[in-house]
Structure 1
Amino acid sequence: MFDNRVSRRTFLKATVATGASVTVGTTGLLSYEQWLEASENAVVYTKNTLCNGCTNRCGMIVSVKNGRVWRAKGNPDCSNGLGTLCGRGQAMLDQPYATSGYRVTQPMKKVGDNEFEPISWEQAFSEIGAKFKDIIQKHGSETLFIGQNPKAFGTFYLTRLADALQIPTRVTHNPSCNTARNSAMPLVYGAVHSSDINNAKYIVYVGRSPADGMRPNQARSLRIARDNGAQIVILDPRYSNSCAFGSKWVNIRPGTDLAFLLAVMHVLIKDDLYDKKFVEEYTIGFAELAEEMKKYTPEWAAEITDVPADTIIEVANGLGANKPASLIEEAWKGSVGCSYENSSELGRAMACINGLLGNIGKKGGIRFSSDPEFGKVDGPSPKAPKGLRRLDEVGAGDTFPFTVASQGVTHLVVKKAIDGITKGGIVRQNNIARNFAGRDVMVKGLKSMECLVVIDIFMTETAECADYILPEPTFLERREIVENKGMRVCITDQVIDKIYPDTKPLDEIVAGIAKAAGVSEFFNFTLDQLNEARLKPLGIAYKDLLEKGYITYKQPQKEPVEGEVEKFVKTPSGLVEFFSEKCLKENYPPVVRWVPPLVSPDPSNLNEFRLIWGKYATHTHTATITLPSLAYVSKISNADWIWMSSKRAKTLGIKHGDLVIVENEQHTAKLNVKVTERLHPDCIFMPGHFGQFATRLPEELRMAANPNDFTPFMMEKFSGTMNAHETLVRVRKA
């Protein structure tokens, strides 16, 4: 447990530094007045670092007083936060001081079901290395995997370790987030785009809510676009907080966004609203696309989407009239990331509309970013494995030929452990047991492995399934790898001393495992040597970056000037591909088409709903529920209540605040209900942050249920994502 007491020595040092005069008695104790004076006059120093509250990694300037984090503000040079920190970022300052009963403070080894004993680092490394070598010798390296939340620090070290051990399977949290989008859009223009929201005149958000999401700069762009007079259409079955900035909320039936966009393309093509010159010069497959779109009329889509045909025509006209400063925003999770059996096709449709608008590289259109070419550290580098089939069946000619290889199909890897196929792996800060659908399958699979190593800060649901738990210090207690955000390089730097001395940062953990596994030659460098090497081609001094936190790099831009479309597009043909030869080769339809959702509620069953879920701005997935301040905010704001439309609630005799039973074959829970006009009547909405079942989590941090409890194990056929919203539940008054 963290010791909050302040020693005589600490305050004597503080008083000497500040010139304060304090008399200490013979007992060595300070009076309250003396303590208060020394505390108030203590030296304050600041350090630049990056927030770890989500993957956006906003820059923060942290003030430290008496050896503890005191306060923080945003780094104005940060391209994501733009000098601001959201509420989550401020709450993350409490993470080092989290409840010790939930914090992992030393290496642990499983000695029974959810029973662990502390061991030394030497024992942990030795046993893990020996078990991995034994698995590789008996079953092959293809039976192991590496899993993480894909941030730069973990990506570099764990990918390097996977290459050193010839482990082909690398998975992330993305199949529970945005893998469908990330796998589909590149088929059209080679990458996932970003949007010039500030300068756009007509914007369509598809299931995305920047005001409830993750990046302060994107929420700010939404406000700037509104203030500039842009028309903002929000396609969402829920009236999210972003709708307050929008011009039009399209209350669409969940799971039917694809039908809406197909009909938009029908109108764009039929009424000659697309950019003909752009299509002729920079695209292929337009004739095939036009032929396929003929059948997707606004009237056809209206029946499916519950959106009037006139609204569909209005949106198509708005996009066409304002091109090229009009766009379909790239979204994230929403309806395109991992939610429906048609999420990947929706990603293709979004990209095709942008292609028809000719907005690539244009002001108010879409863009593609490039990363700096970081330098490499001296010494041997391991080669990536070749010729080994991945556990998740990702790759050309396999089950999931389009899925982003660096993201994988995490839940399939875990499920295969039940049948003895997946033998073990390393999971870092990726709470698979809680954050993927099919909870029972995930827990059983994780527990079935011969050697599962979890690297984390807390005793999460996934950590409780591990054979070994290796503790890291929090982000404020460690230095990480140099990374980039936009055209700036940045770094997470250590702000305070480690609170628990027996924790180790990832670079030391990986080096220890590598040595025990016999591949230490690939890790004969320090973190500082690596960072120096990465910065060398950019002409940036390491000490300057540590001092400033963010520095714009001077490497020549790879992004073309506006209008050089052919340099933006990264497809095999170098053109926007409405017709995909890659899809044809893999026996998948080469042109985007209608794919219905897997399930739909029965209109005759008044108690049946589709379960959809999303985020509040106060939390990042389930990770931030460990922060007491955010848990308190969630409780007093009733953030863990489900939403139900007023129309359906009236039919069922349910009133605002009532306790209801939500159930299906997977799970049953009693929850309070928010009755609202802000939701499509076909569905209920449940926030995705709650429902933790880790046994060591303090009771005051436990809240409500999680949508993954109700969702069975599934995989979208295209990308393998978990079909998070393909779930039906019954709701009745408790």
Structure 2
Amino acid sequence: MTDARSVYSMCGMCATRCPIRVTTENGMVTWIEGNPYVAGIDGALCAKGSAGLSLEYDHERPQSPLIREGKRGEGKWKKATWDEALDYIAEKINAIKSQYGAKAIALADRGGLFTDLTKSFVKAIGSPNYLDHDDTCAKNVNMALQSLIGYSRGDIGYDFANCKYIVLFGRNVFESLQVKEVNNILDAMEKGCKITYIDVRATVTASKANKFLMIRPGTDYAMILAIINVIIREKLYDIEYVNRYFNDFSELENFIVPYTPEWAEKETEIPAFEIVNVAREAASAKPKVIFHGGWMLSRYIDSFYASRGLFILNALLGSFETKGGIVIAKGAKDAGKKGLRSLSEGIPEPQDKIFDATLPGKSLGTGHVVNLYKVIKTGQPYNIKALFAYRYDPMASLPDPEEQKKVLDNLDLLVSIDVNYSETGWYSDVILPEATYLERSNIVCVQKGQKPNFFMRRQAMKPRYDSKQGWEIFTLLAHKLGAGQYFPWKNIEEIWNYQLEPTGYKIEDFDAKGFVSLSKDPIFMPRDAIKFTTPSGKIEFISEKITKVGGKPLAEYKSPKNPEEGSFRLVFGRAAMHTHAQTQNNLYLNEIMPENHLWINEKEASKLGIKNGDKVEVSTDGYSGIIKAYTTAYIHPKAVFMYHGFGSEVPLKTRSFGKGLRDTKFQKGILETVDPVGGGVAYLEAMVKVKKA
């Protein structure tokens, strides 16, 4: 007799964490689909989400704790019990704490909805050093937004479903996809919404857009300044909104005068009339217009200002906190409800400051992973000797992995906690296998938005191997490290009840749909009473935050250097079926895209004697690799492109091992090259040479 049941949970194949419904038979997952009760999801999944079954039943993932026996990266491991692995970690950590203090321990997290657990763990063991991956993603966006309106990137949402005009600078929404976002954009397009897409190459998003404009690499900021110029010069902005909410408008008005469309045409290679048209078309749709501020905007040395300029455009057109614009995301309190209880409640604050709080010459904010590497290398302002990498793979995501190895060799302990074998895990001292998202429950989370919700990821089946759920791992570690009093949990239900107690909701309230909605209707602040969280309570062109780190409201534009003859700027991005460097070994997804190719402009390729499909050598600063060429008219002549995440160096991942090239290995010498104000890694400042192999 078949025991079939449905479990409402959350996908874990990428960081979007779409709500899902899982079908099990006799305790084994047999089907995954999008949650039919969530608007915008409506039962849909992307290719990655559908491949969750392949992840679950794959044997090429860590099956038990592993302790390194050979040299770091050599691939010699001892299979261990959990007690052996945790005791090994505890012995190392206690020695480090004895010599350097708890501040010598850091945890780098992928980030997301469940970080209350990991932040509480770090706090419980007495360290201030929690950080996430944001330097390699949206740090510039986050800092730019905070400096302008006070809210962080996690505090806003894009109301694409009701938008009339969308401008995307390299935000490749149809490949770096989120199911709900894509469905909302498609719905808006059916209702007449227009999209303008600007990038150095024609992506899938370019093919869906009403207009695609190919821009010279590194000149996004120039075009953004010119659009601001047109909107101010022609008085296309929302005068009432600007007068009510904009501080220092006259300073912006004066700054922008020289940055005309005619000037920008010489920089961007986009005709002046096209720039004027974008400004006028956007203004005609105001306030239901979105200039996307960027998702992964770790690109150029001026990407902070590019993002700030994009958010200024939204402010000028009155699109903040309006239907069809950028909405300030609401939480439980905004819905008149009590929020979840934090797991950190009652845990003493660490005595020390986070590692880069007093670091000289640092950019905005703290917890920068690039700064962590500096501190590990130099021992200043204090030593970091232990690093936990939780669901985070800096050696695959940060530039120059060989330079990273030299830095990480200064650690006494490197621990990887992950579902997959990662490049960082392969270089670690200990690998602790986390159960897959289908095998684990997580703490209750809040999804903020126009209609906020509490969501729950529920275990659909028991772990197939000797892996553990994240909450179990950190509870066990806390007990081994003498902080068990702060992690008294015996099961996930105890954690859920603790979190939910102030809210009045019960675990069974999640049974019917997998979530609890906190508001029946969308929540908006009154148009004439929007509360921004800047010091002035208004939109601040001039920001004290920026001034304190030596920055300006908007910097004077500096033209990017062109690559030398025979060289190209290396650009990378994501494919719709892969998540960063995580899914290339997935059986289903590997079949669709097993390796990456090098996009190169067909005219430039012809000069080099390269034809489509030829093998080419890509090189930079003593490193080179062979890859197939994809010649096309739809990439700028000064750039070449490869999809990120390929070229795995973990031999146990047999499907992806050595397939394609790793873009980060060509980003030589730029590990510490960041936007000086926002702190985001300036990946696209890497240049490479190409020749026929």
| Counterpart code for 2:592 | V
Identical pairs, percent: 27
| Distance in 2 (alpha carbons) for counterparts of 1:410 and 1:379 | 23
Q: Matches of residues 348-387 of structure 1 in structure 2 within 5 Å?
A: 348-372=308-332, 373-376=338-341, 381-387=346-352
| Counterpart code for 1:574 | G
Task: State the shift of 1:424 in Å.
Answer: 0.9
Task: State the shift of 1:378 in Å.
Answer: 8.6
Query: Do residues 111 (structure 1) and 69 (structure 2) align?
Result: yes
Unaligned runs of 5+ in 2: 333-337
Aligned to 2:501, the other structure's residue is in SS state helix
* Distance change >3 Å, CA 657–CA 461, structure 1 → 2: same
Contact 1:427 1:454 in 2 (8 A): yes
Aligned to 1:566, the other structure's residue is in SS state coil
| Counterpart code for 1:633 | I
Task: State the shift of 1:561 in Å.
Answer: 3.5
Query: Do residues 124 (structure 1) and 64 (structure 2) align?
Result: no
| Distance in 2 (alpha carbons) for counterparts of 1:165 and 1:595 | 46
Residues 265-300 of structure 1, C-alpha deviations (whole Å, 9 max, x = no match): 111111111122211111101111111101111122
| Distance in 1 (alpha carbons) for counterparts of 2:48 and 2:406 | 32
* Distance change >3 Å, CA 304–CA 380, structure 1 → 2: closer
Q: Matches of residues 340-351 of structure 1 in structure 2 within 5 Å?
A: 340-351=300-311
| Distance in 2 (alpha carbons) for counterparts of 1:411 and 1:81 | 36
Tell me how large the CA RMSD over aligned residues is.
2.2
Task: State the shift of 1:77 in Å.
Answer: 2.3
Q: 2:481 aligns with which of 503, 506, 517?
A: 517
| Counterpart code for 1:577 | E
Contact 1:194 1:368 in 2 (8 A): yes
Q: 2:4 aligns with which of 37, 44, 57?
A: 44
| Distance in 1 (alpha carbons) for counterparts of 2:228 and 2:646 | 38
Query: Do residues 696 (structure 1) and 659 (structure 2) align?
Result: no
Residues 443-499 of structure 1, C-alpha deviations (whole Å, 9 max, x = no match): 232343101121112332111221222121111111111113342222111111221
Task: State the shift of 1:521 in Å.
Answer: 1.1
Contact 2:390 2:418 in 1 (8 A): yes
| Distance in 1 (alpha carbons) for counterparts of 2:299 and 2:421 | 28
Question: What is the TM-score when the length of structure 2 is the normalising length?
Answer: 0.92
| Counterpart code for 1:641 | H
Residue matched to 2:569: 610
Contact 1:259 1:594 in 2 (8 A): no
Residue matched to 1:9: none
Contact 1:493 1:546 in 2 (8 A): no
Contact 1:376 1:530 in 2 (8 A): no
Residue matched to 1:601: 563
Aligned length: 672
Q: 2:525 aligns with which of 539, 555, 561?
A: 561
Q: 1:206 aligns with which of 149, 169, 178?
A: 169
Residue matched to 1:243: 206
Contact 1:472 1:503 in 2 (8 A): yes
* Distance change >3 Å, CA 295–CA 378, structure 1 → 2: closer
Residues 114-168 of structure 1, C-alpha deviations (whole Å, 9 max, x = no match): 3221233223323322322322231132322111111333x12221111112222
Q: 1:584 aligns with which of 547, 551, 569?
A: 547
Q: Matches of residues 387-466 of structure 1 in structure 2 within 5 Å?
A: 387-388=352-353, 390-391=354-355, 393-394=356-357, 398-403=360-365, 405=366, 408-419=367-378, 421-466=383-428
Aligned to 1:175, the other structure's residue is in SS state helix
Contact 2:362 2:549 in 1 (8 A): no
Question: What is the TM-score when the length of structure 1 is the normalising length?
Answer: 0.87
Residue matched to 1:474: 436
| Distance in 1 (alpha carbons) for counterparts of 2:616 and 2:482 | 56
| Distance in 2 (alpha carbons) for counterparts of 1:555 and 1:318 | 34
Contact 1:379 1:524 in 2 (8 A): no
Residue matched to 2:692: 733
| Distance in 2 (alpha carbons) for counterparts of 1:440 and 1:289 | 43
| Distance in 2 (alpha carbons) for counterparts of 1:309 and 1:300 | 8
Contact 2:246 2:538 in 1 (8 A): yes
| Distance in 2 (alpha carbons) for counterparts of 1:323 and 1:92 | 41
Residue matched to 1:163: 123
Aligned to 1:693, the other structure's residue is in SS state coil
| Counterpart code for 1:430 | Y
Residue matched to 2:469: 505
Q: 1:142 aligns with which of 100, 103, 109?
A: 103
Q: 2:188 aligns with which of 221, 225, 230?
A: 225
Aligned to 2:188, the other structure's residue is in SS state helix
Aligned to 1:453, the other structure's residue is in SS state strand
Residue matched to 1:26: none
Residue matched to 1:647: 603
Aligned to 1:152, the other structure's residue is in SS state coil
| Distance in 1 (alpha carbons) for counterparts of 2:47 and 2:521 | 36
Residue matched to 2:335: none
| Distance in 2 (alpha carbons) for counterparts of 1:378 and 1:670 | 49
Residue matched to 2:135: 175
| Counterpart code for 1:476 | L
Q: Matches of residues 242-281 of structure 1 in structure 2 within 5 Å?
A: 242-281=205-244
Aligned to 1:475, the other structure's residue is in SS state coil
| Distance in 1 (alpha carbons) for counterparts of 2:6 and 2:69 | 43
Aligned to 2:530, the other structure's residue is in SS state helix
Residues 544-592 of structure 1, C-alpha deviations (whole Å, 9 max, x = no match): 31442122125998x533514522x221111011111222233321x21
| Distance in 2 (alpha carbons) for counterparts of 1:378 and 1:706 | 38
Residue matched to 1:298: 261
* Distance change >3 Å, CA 415–CA 540, structure 1 → 2: same
Residue matched to 1:286: 249
| Higher CA-based Rg | 1
Aligned to 1:211, the other structure's residue is in SS state coil
| Counterpart code for 1:136 | K
Residues 151-206 of structure 1, C-alpha deviations (whole Å, 9 max, x = no match): 333x1222111111222222222211111111111111122342222222222111
Contact 1:691 1:702 in 2 (8 A): yes
Residue matched to 2:589: 630
Task: State the shift of 1:399 in Å.
Answer: 3.5
Q: 1:663 aligns with which of 619, 623, 626?
A: 619
Greater helix share, structure number: 1
Higher deviation after alignment, 692-701 or 163-172: 692-701
| Distance in 1 (alpha carbons) for counterparts of 2:606 and 2:84 | 62
Contact 1:129 1:514 in 2 (8 A): no
* Distance change >3 Å, CA 84–CA 294, structure 1 → 2: same
Task: State the shift of 1:50 in Å.
Answer: 0.8
Task: State the shift of 1:251 in Å.
Answer: 0.6
* Distance change >3 Å, CA 378–CA 697, structure 1 → 2: closer
Aligned to 1:220, the other structure's residue is in SS state helix
